[in-house]
Structure formats: structure tokens, C-alpha cells
């Protein structure tokens, strides 16, 4: 297998952290420089026509794009620890929170970065108004996350799940997006500190 990787970009990091939490060595890494638009070359477009990272290229030539698809494939190969949950209710709660975070906090932070950061000016048709609209929604997303974490060590209970990886990367991505994390979200800060200390977070 080969993993086409985008360095510090949030979705490639999610996959690398998922591998690390599984205790599975990363496959051969193929670095793709997003800043140099290597994800838009004809060679990479043949692998993933959507021109997005990461992509896991299987030995049979199948190209798995989309972060959650790659993580679910790895979960199928290596069921323990069950980062998508095992019992039906647990799996459903993890899916619910991962979806909420992807469509909420993660999406809003990404929109702020893509539509306001100077480094993205050559990669995006930036709409500053869209960046500001999403910036205004971030505290609402954080309120929901802080409330959940007030009663749980991790987002879905006592064990780390894929929802924590998604949310943790979203919080990390707030810094380069120039979005401060307000002091009032103490439960988010406690949880994020614990995540950041995990060996997987260096992946």
C-alpha cells in the first residue's frame, strides 16, 4: 500500500493519527506538496480525480480517497482498538458526534482558513464573507463540544474514538486559521491537552 500524504494539512493528519492509535505502521508515504499544487498534476488526478488528500492506494490498484473511508478500511483490517465503536449504540454515538463535528466545527475552521489565509490565495477563489460567516459560528460549535466534554473524558465516553481525532484536529487547525480558543471552554481545553500529549498526536 501507499499513502499519498499532504503533510500538516488536517485530513492527512487525521489518517496518520488513526494509524498510530491503531498501532499499525504507516504504509509507504508519497508526499504531495499542496502549496506547489502537486495535487493538481495529471499524475495525481489520475489517482484521485477530486484532487484531494489523503489517498490510500491499495496493492490491487484501488485508490481509497476520503478520510473516513480510509479509516474505516483500516478499522476493518484491524478491529482493535475499536475507534468506530463495537456495540451498536456505541458505534451510533461515535458516528453521530463525528458527523456533527465534521459538518460543524471542522468545516467552519476549514472555511475560515481556505477563504482568509494568505497562503490559500493561489489555491482558492477566496470569499472573505464566507470566512467571516463561518468564524461567527465557531463559538456555537465549541459550546456543543464543551457541554459534551463536561460529562465525558472523551467525546463519546471513556475511550478515545475517531470523533476525538476529528475534533482534536479541528482545534489544532484553529491556530493557523487565526482563531483563538476562548478560555471559557475549559472542558475542551482539558480534553485537547490530553489529546495533544498522546504519542499519536506527533504523527
| 2-77 and 88-202, same CATH topology | no
Name the residue ranges covered by the structural domains of the chain: 2-77, 88-202
What pLDDT is stored for residue 8 in this prediction?
Answer: 92
Q: At what angle do helices 107-116 and 138-149 cross, to 10 degrees?
A: 150
pLDDT in tens, the chain (203 residues): 999 999 999 999 999 999 999 999 999 999 999 999 999 999 999 999 999 999 999 999 999 999 999 999 999 999 999 999 999 999 999 999 999 999 999 999 999 999 999 999 988 899 999 999 999 999 999 999 999 999 999 999 999 999 999 999 999 999 999 999 999 999 999 999 999 999 999 99
What pLDDT is stored for residue 137 in this prediction?
Answer: 97
Q: How far apart are CA 198 and CA 11, in angstroms?
A: 18
What pLDDT is stored for residue 118 in this prediction?
Answer: 93
Can you read off the three cell numbers belonging to residue 27? 504504509
Q: How far apart are CA 16 and CA 14, in angstroms?
A: 6
What pLDDT is stored for residue 173 in this prediction?
Answer: 97
DSSP state of 157: B
What pLDDT is stored for residue 128 in this prediction?
Answer: 96
What pLDDT is stored for residue 30 in this prediction?
Answer: 97
Q: Say if CB 162 and CB 71 are below 8 A apart.
A: yes
Q: How many Å is the Cα radius of gyration of the chain?
A: 17
Q: Say if CB 128 and CB 115 are below 8 A apart.
A: yes
Can you name the CATH fold of 88-202? Glutathione S-transferase Yfyf (Class Pi); Chain A, domain 2 (1.20.1050)
The domain 2-77 belongs to what CATH superfamily? Answer: Glutaredoxin (3.40.30.10)
Backbone angles phi, psi at 103, to 5 degrees: -80, -15
pTM over 0.75: yes
Amino acid at each position: 500500500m501507499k499513502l499519498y500524504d499532504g503533510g500538516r494539512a488536517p485530513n492527512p493528519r487525521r489518517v496518520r493519527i488513526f494509524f498510530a492509535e491503531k498501532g499499525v505502521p504507516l504504509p509507504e508515504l508519497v508526499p504531495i506538496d499542496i502549496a506547489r499544487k502537486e495535487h493538481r498534476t495529471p499524475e495525481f488526478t489520475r489517482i484521485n480525480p477530486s484532487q484531494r488528500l489523503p489517498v490510500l492506494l491499495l496493492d490491487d490498484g484501488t485508490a481509497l480517497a476520503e478520510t473516513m473511508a480510509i479509516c474505516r478500511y483500516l478499522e476493518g483490517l484491524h478491529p482493535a482498538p475499536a475507534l468506530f465503536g463495537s456495540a451498536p449504540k456505541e458505534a451510533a454515538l461515535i458516528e453521530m458526534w463525528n458527523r456533527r463535528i465534521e459538518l460543524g466545527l471542522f468545516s467552519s475552521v476549514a472555511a475560515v482558513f481556505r477563504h482568509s489565509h494568505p497562503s490559500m490565495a493561489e489555491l482558492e477563489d477566496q470569499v472573505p464573507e464566507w470566512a467571516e460567516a463561518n468564524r461567527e459560528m465557531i463559538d456555537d460549535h465549541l459550546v456543543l463540544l464543551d457541554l459534551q466534554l463536561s460529562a465525558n473524558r472523551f467525546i463519546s465516553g471513556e475511550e478515545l474514538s475517531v470523533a476525538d481525532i476529528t475534533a482534536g484536529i479541528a482545534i489544532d487547525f484553529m491556530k493557523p486559521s487565526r482563531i483563538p480558543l476562548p478560555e471559557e471552554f475549559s472542558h475542551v481545553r482539558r480534553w485537547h491537552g490530553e489529546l495533544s500529549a498522546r504519542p499519536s498526536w506527533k504523527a
